[in-house]
Amino acid sequence: MLAMSRNDLLLFLGFTIAVLAMPIWLQPFGAAYPDLLQRFTIYAILAVGFNILFGLTGYLSFGHAAFFGVGSYAAVWSFKLLSMDAIPAMAFAIVVSGIFALLIGYVSLRRSGIYFSILTLAFAQMSYNLAYSVLTPITNGETGLQLDLADPRYLDRAFSAAPAGLPSPTLLGAPLTGYAGFYFCAGFLIIAFFIAQRITGSPFGMMLKGIKSNQTRMNYTGFNTKPYTLAAFVISGMYAGLAGALLAITDPLAGAERMQWTASGEVVLMTILGGAGTLVGPVIGAWLIKYFENIFSAINDSILTRFFAFLPEGADHVAVTIASKFVGEGWFLTLGLVFVLIVVFLPGGIMEGVRRIVGLFNRSGKTPRHTPAQVQPAE
Phi, psi of 47 (to 5 degrees): -70, -40
Give the residue, chosen from 300, 321, 362, 376, that forms a contact with other proteins under the rule CB under 8 A. Answer: 376
If you ran DSSP here, which 8-state letter would residue 348 be given?
Answer: T
At 25, which helix (H) or strand (E)? helix 22-25
The answer to whether residue 370 forms part of the interface with other proteins (CB under 8 A) is yes
Give the residue, chosen from 54, 228, 233, 239, that forms a contact with other proteins under the rule CB under 8 A. Answer: 228
Q: Which residue lies nearer to other proteins by CB, 4 or 299?
A: 4
Give the residue, chosen from 181, 205, 275, 281, that forms a contact with other proteins under the rule CB under 8 A. Answer: 205
Phi, psi of 355 (to 5 degrees): -65, -40
Site for other proteins in 231-250 (CB under 8 A): 231
Q: Which residues pair with 262 in a beta bridge?
A: none
Please state the three-class secondary structure of 35-56 as a single string.
HHHHHHHHHHHHHHHHHHHHHH
Which range of residues in 74-82, 147-155, 247-255, 364-372 is near other proteins by CB under 8 A? 364-372
The answer to whether residue 214 forms part of the interface with other proteins (CB under 8 A) is yes
Distances (CA, A) of 250 to 124, 144, 185, 188, 255: 24, 16, 9, 13, 14
The answer to whether residue 371 forms part of the interface with other proteins (CB under 8 A) is yes
The answer to whether residue 207 forms part of the interface with other proteins (CB under 8 A) is yes
The answer to whether residue 367 forms part of the interface with other proteins (CB under 8 A) is no
Q: Which residue lies nearer to other proteins by CB, 198 or 296?
A: 198
Measure the CA–CA gap between 90 and 71, rounded to whole angstroms: 8
Q: Which residue lies nearer to other proteins by CB, 204 or 261?
A: 204
Measure the CA–CA gap between 157 and 178, rounded to whole angstroms: 26
What is the closest distance, in whole angstroms, from the C-beta atom of residue 211 to other proteins in the complex? 9
What is the closest distance, in whole angstroms, from the C-beta atom of residue 273 to other proteins in the complex? 20
Phi, psi of 145 (to 5 degrees): -80, 125
Size of the site for other proteins (CB under 8 A): 39
In this structure, which amino acid lies at residue 346? L
Local structure of 170: helix, strand or coil: strand
What is the closest distance, in whole angstroms, from the C-beta atom of residue 192 to other proteins in the complex? 14
The answer to whether residue 5 forms part of the interface with other proteins (CB under 8 A) is yes
Give the residue, chosen from 27, 133, 202, 362, that forms a contact with other proteins under the rule CB under 8 A. Answer: 202
Give the residue, chosen from 158, 161, 224, 366, that forms a contact with other proteins under the rule CB under 8 A. Answer: 224
The answer to whether residue 225 forms part of the interface with other proteins (CB under 8 A) is yes
Q: Which residue lies nearer to other proteins by CB, 232 or 288?
A: 232
Judged on CB neighbours under 10 Å (0-12, 13-18, 19+), 340 is: exposed
In this structure, which amino acid lies at residue 201? G
In 151-224, which residue ranges form alpha helices assigned H by DSSP?
154-159, 178-200, 203-213, 215-220
Q: Which residue lies nearer to other proteins by CB, 102 or 299?
A: 102
What is the closest distance, in whole angstroms, from the C-beta atom of residue 202 to other proteins in the complex? 4
Which range of residues in 75-83, 136-144, 195-203, 307-315 is near other proteins by CB under 8 A? 195-203
Give counts: helices (H), strands (E), the chain: 18, 4
Which range of residues in 73-81, 89-97, 180-188, 365-373 is near other proteins by CB under 8 A? 365-373
Distances (CA, A) of 64 to 99, 111, 236: 14, 17, 9
Strand duo 170-171 + 174-175: pairing: antiparallel
Give the residue, chosen from 222, 314, 365, 368, that forms a contact with other proteins under the rule CB under 8 A. Answer: 222
Q: Which residue lies nearer to other proteins by CB, 204 or 296?
A: 204
Q: Which residues pair with 265 in a beta bridge?
A: none
Q: Which residues bind other proteins (CB under 8 A)?
A: 1-5, 198-199, 201-207, 209-210, 212-214, 216-225, 227-228, 231, 370-376
